[in-house]
Structure 1
């Protein structure tokens, strides 16, 4: 599992809006919040996405880019983003290669653990919350990023 002080694995994934997103390109623009979630349209995942949406303007004003990753398809992500007016990229990791690289696979690789990583421009993980079901703990991590 990727820990604080480790280099975040680079990735390239398709986004809900048809773009291809590469972590290293985002890091060239500023620090990045990468969060992993189990599934579109579930109650906790929706709450987490809406919490990030509600903080998005403040995150952008602080220089952060935000991406969310789960194993659902681009089409599912597009519907989820549209329904909840999500202003950040939802990335489709359908083969779970990035999920595995970050060490956030659930038991037997069947699910994705909820995880949030703050990644500095040099690719170093500054802080993280992994496996905690409480959306509040993930919100707290984002709050720390905002100072």
Structure 2
């Protein structure tokens, strides 16, 4: 089980390929706040809802100084299809070996319908301008999560 991050921790550095295969690093965003959200699989109902909610509010987040990055175990090609199918504007990154998911505590034991297995724990980590964790939210719901995040971060009000 990977360690969950706490406010004040240094956010683990990462460099992962985006939907176009271009490398994106957390360090590219120093000086801006970053919302890093982890989701199980592209092109599934919950993950689509969440990605669309982030896309719909991207300008509001950007106006408040936040960049948004979504990370899943999907390969870049699938992320590209996801982006095209749903007209997504958020940056989607591929972490097929779960290295970043585990570093952020977003991969581990899950229970679904009484069955225990290893998988992506839907999570959101807000990183400040200096690369420190501002807040870490685990086991979030796909529906309503972005609205709650906007409210909690006092963005767009």
TM-score if structure 2 supplies the norm length? Answer: 0.86
Could you list the runs of 5+ residues in structure 2 that have no partner in the other structure?
A: 111-116
More deviation in 19-28 or 31-40?
19-28
Q: Pick one of 58, 69, 73 that aligns with 2:75.
A: 73
Instruction: Look up the match of 2:16.
Output: 13
Could you list the runs of 5+ residues in structure 1 that have no partner in the other structure?
A: none
TM-score if structure 1 supplies the norm length? Answer: 0.91
Q: Pick one of 121, 129, 133 that aligns with 2:137.
A: 129
Please say which structure displays the higher CA radius of gyration. 2
**Which secondary structure does the structure 1 equivalent of 2:8 belong to?**
coil
> By percentage of residues, which structure has more strand?
2
Instruction: Look up the match of 1:141.
Output: 149
Residues paired across the two proteins, number: 146
1:38-57 paired onto structure 2 within 5 Å: 38-57=40-59
Determine if contact 1:40/1:77 at 8 Å carries over to the other structure: yes
Aligned-pair Cα RMSD in Å: 1.6
Distance 2:77 2:120 in 1: 19
More deviation in 112-121 or 99-108?
99-108
User: Where has structure 1 moved over 6 Å in runs of 4 or more?
Assistant: none
